[in-house]
């Protein structure tokens, strides 16, 4: 167990529970109860162990190890045991506003209930347990030293906190299964990329290709346009980058994701404009941080976002005839769309993907949702609330190619919906994506595409947030910790050097750029800090066994190691970034002594 603390889980494992639990528990509520938790209990079958809050508090504040804590000390390496002291008093630095909005939705309520299966008081009433946690969190945040584990325990308005180890282990197994399947899928893509890199023909000038990460020769001017769609009551503030071209040039639209805005992809907009593209970056009005609750509660965003792009293109056609700033400079019959996350969904919808209500009806049954850790599926299911399920055609024939980065696809489109796309498509997937898991939302869906011009790029070690650029300081966006973001500089570099030749090839109709879209070129420019693979084909049959395979530890020794690893995994998560969550700490602290006592194994 020497390297257990640092190497137990992949980055995906770390981020998954961190993000899920952080989303669930930064919530608003008030309770003036003066009760405080006295003990943390961990139960498994008929066996129950516990540790007192007073024992933890003495160790955290004074370094005193009493007899109760000493029982468990011998099972934990000294350096990791010392970490416990810091964990207990390290404050949480997180704003509860956005998460409070999320928890008012059915998705948030569903996830919160799943965690109350694990962490409970003796109350038979679920709502009372939820209120108790709300009360403890909000009162702890008001403490001078902030929200930490000890403050949470002091303010928890029940005598005891109980952790169901059996359910905790089941959750660990579910997450481990997801991680394993994703890793196997990424390995399959890597295998395919290696094969294609040597079997697909290379152009004669392959090794002398110019470096596309360098800016181009065009100078661009940025303008902010204001459009208002009265039909849908949507204000669309739109950035447009106009290069100093002499003839009409192709147009690229960039659609940002949830909680971001046009400033997050300025790095890509300026890069494309430097090569002669006119770049249009709208601000979708319901997708910024302040209006997050509106987006989550309003399924119309699934239709409004593509319609935003259509409306803006229509207005630009008018402005191309009259607006002195870009008159005659736009070729609006040659349009490409780039989108990230929900923006990736938008790009695919404009390219011809159809909303698949039949698939949604199947996947959004409560029995399926109760078992899922795919957070994007909970959001996709909101599309079922759209009216007139048979009357949506979001495709825009002006769009000649689309790039979707970490898109949500599995149920909102499904196989039937994605197979409608006939335009060239490039999909980016990040192996450590905890919001839209790569296997289910990008890798498998890529195999459903029927277009003859399709590309899948996997960022090995990337997360859902790696490709998002820095925002305007005035935007009020929450700054995510580096561990959650991943290697952003390399991810943005990949976005620039592959978006450019893709759009040059299929939108600007410059076939000489096709040489860059070769798997061997991806291997050539890949960085050791962030792996990169590119494939042009992938067979659904190859992925089916991975998707359907589930395995959990069954032996006593495997169970013991898994519980210990899960406990340290939770503790590792809680101190790895500024968003650590006290509930994770409670689970981690409870699991370790239980596993060590129940299954003592030497030389861990």
pTM value is 0.79
In this prediction, residue 441 carries a pLDDT of 97
| Residue range(s) of every CATH 3.40.50.1820 domain in the chain | 217-548
Determine the pLDDT at residue 296.
Answer: 55
Query: What is the reported pLDDT for 165?
Result: 67
Among the ranges given (7-16, 157-166, 191-200, 357-366), the one the predictor scored with the smallest mean pLDDT:
7-16
Residue scoring higher pLDDT (574 or 232): 232
Residues 187, 192, 195, 201: is their CA dihedral positive or negative?
Answer: negative
Read off the pLDDT band of 560 (50, 70, 90).
Answer: very low
pLDDT higher than threshold 50 for residue 175: yes
pLDDT reported for residue 314: 98
Query: Residue 229: pLDDT above 90?
Result: yes
Asked if residue 574 has pLDDT above 50, the reply is: no
Percent of the chain at pLDDT exceeding 70: 69
pLDDT tops 50 at residue 603? no
| Structure-token pair, residue 188 | 């399959």
Residue 570, pLDDT score:
42
* Six-digit token string for 136: 């403890």
pLDDT at 378: 83
Compute the mean pLDDT over every residue in the chain, rounded to the nearest whole number: 79
- pLDDT at residue number 496: 98
Distance of alpha carbon 369 from alpha carbon 345, whole angstroms: 21
Q: pLDDT at residue 559 above 90?
A: no
Reported confidence tier of residue 203, pLDDT bands at 50, 70, 90: confident
Nearest CA to 159 out of 121, 189, 194, 196 is that of: 121
Q: Are strands 220-229 and 249-255 parallel, antiparallel or unpaired?
A: unpaired
Q: Is the pLDDT of residue 304 over 90?
A: yes
Beta strands in 502-584 (DSSP E): 531-535
pLDDT at 444: 96
In this model, does residue 207 exceed pLDDT 90? no
Which position has the token pair 């109860």?
A: 33
- Tell me what the mean pLDDT of segment 390-398 comes to: 89
Distance CA 562, CA 552 (A): 10
Q: Residue 309's CB: how many other CB atoms inside 10 A?
A: 27
pLDDT per position as a tens digit, 408-442: 999 999 999 999 999 999 999 999 998 899 999 99
* pLDDT band per the 50, 70, 90 thresholds, residue 147: low
Q: Which residue has the higher pLDDT, 220 or 602?
A: 220
Is the domain spanning 217-548 CATH 3.40.50.1820? The answer is: yes
pLDDT at 12 over 50: no
Q: Which residue has the higher pLDDT, 475 or 347?
A: 347
Q: What is the helix (H) or strand (E) element at residue 492, kind and residue range?
A: helix 488-506
Q: By C-alpha distance, which of 455, 450, 453 is closest to 420?
A: 450
Look at 478 and 401; give whichever has higher pLDDT: 401
Q: How far apart are CA 494 and CA 403, in angstroms?
A: 13
């Amino acid at each position: 167990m020497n390297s257990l603390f640092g190497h137990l889980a992949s980055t995906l494992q770390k981020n998954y529970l961190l993000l899920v639990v952080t989303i669930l528990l930064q919530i608003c509520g008030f309770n003036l109860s003066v009760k405080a938790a006295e003990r943390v209990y961990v139960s498994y079958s008929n066996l129950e162990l516990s540790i007192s809050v007073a024992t933890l508090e003495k160790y955290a504040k004074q370094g005193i190890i009493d007899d109760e804590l000493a029982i468990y000390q011998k099972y934990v390496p000294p350096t990791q045991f010392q970490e416990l002291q810091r964990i207990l008093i390290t404050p949480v630095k997180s704003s509860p506003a956005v998460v409070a909005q999320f928890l008012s939705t059915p998705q948030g309520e569903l996830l919160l209930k799943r965690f109350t299966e694990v962490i409970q008081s003796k109350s038979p009433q679920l709502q009372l347990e939820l209120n108790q946690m709300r009360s403890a969190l909000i009162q702890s945040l008001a403490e001078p030293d902030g929200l930490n584990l000890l403050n949470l325990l002091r303010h928890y308005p029940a005598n005891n906190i109980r952790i169901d180890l059996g359910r905790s282990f089941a959750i660990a197994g579910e997450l481990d299964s997801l991680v394993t399947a994703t890793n196997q899928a990424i390995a399959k893509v890597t295998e395919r990329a290696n094969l294609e890199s040597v079997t697909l023909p290379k152009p004669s000038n392959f090794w002398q290709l110019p470096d596309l990460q360098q800016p181009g020769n065009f100078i661009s001017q940025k303008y902010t346009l204001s459009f208002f769609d009265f039909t849908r009551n949507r204000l669309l503030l739109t950035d447009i980058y106009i290069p100093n071209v002499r003839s009409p040039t192709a147009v690229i639209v960039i659609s940002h994701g949830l909680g971001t805005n046009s400033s997050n992809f300025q790095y890509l907009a300026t890069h494309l404009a430097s090569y002669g593209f006119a770049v249009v970056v709208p601000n979708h009005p319901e997708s910024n941080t302040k209006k997050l609750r509106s987006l989550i509660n309003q399924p119309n965003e699934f239709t409004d976002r593509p319609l935003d792009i259509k409306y803006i293109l229509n207005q630009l056609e008018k402005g191309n005839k009259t607006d002195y700033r870009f008159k005659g400079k736009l070729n609006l019959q040659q349009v490409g769309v780039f989108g990230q996350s929900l923006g990736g969904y938008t790009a695919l919808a404009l390219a011809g993907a159809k909303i698949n209500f039949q698939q949604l009806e199947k996947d959004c049954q409560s029995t399926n949702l109760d078992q899922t850790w795919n957070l994007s599926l909970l959001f996709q299911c909101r599309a079922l609330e759209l009216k007139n399920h048979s009357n949506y055609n979001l495709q825009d024939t002006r769009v000649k190619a689309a790039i979707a980065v970490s898109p949500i696809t599995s149920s909102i489109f499904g196989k039937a919906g994605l197979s409608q796309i006939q335009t060239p498509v490039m999909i980016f997937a990040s192996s450590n994506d905890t919001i839209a898991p790569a296997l289910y939302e990008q890798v498998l869906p890529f195999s459903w595409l029927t277009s003859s011009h399709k590309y899948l790029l996997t960022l090995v070690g990337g997360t859902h947030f790696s490709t998002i650029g820095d925002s305007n300081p005035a935007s009020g966006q929450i700054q995510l910790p580096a561990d959650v973001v991943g290697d952003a500089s390399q991810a943005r570099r990949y976005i620039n050097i592959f978006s450019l030749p893709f759009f040059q090839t299929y939108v600007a109709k410059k076939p000489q750029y096709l040489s860059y879209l070769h798997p061997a070129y991806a291997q050539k420019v890949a960085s050791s800090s962030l792996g990169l693979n590119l494939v042009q084909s992938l067979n659904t049959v190859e992925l089916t066994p991975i998707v359907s395979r589930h395995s959990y530890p069954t032996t006593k020794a495997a169970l013991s190691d898994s519980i210990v690893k899960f406990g340290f995994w939770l503790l590792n998560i809680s101190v790895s970034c500024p968003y650590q969550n006290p509930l994770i700490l409670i689970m981690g602290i409870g699991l370790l002594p239980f596993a060590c006592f129940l299954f003592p194994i030497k030389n861990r």
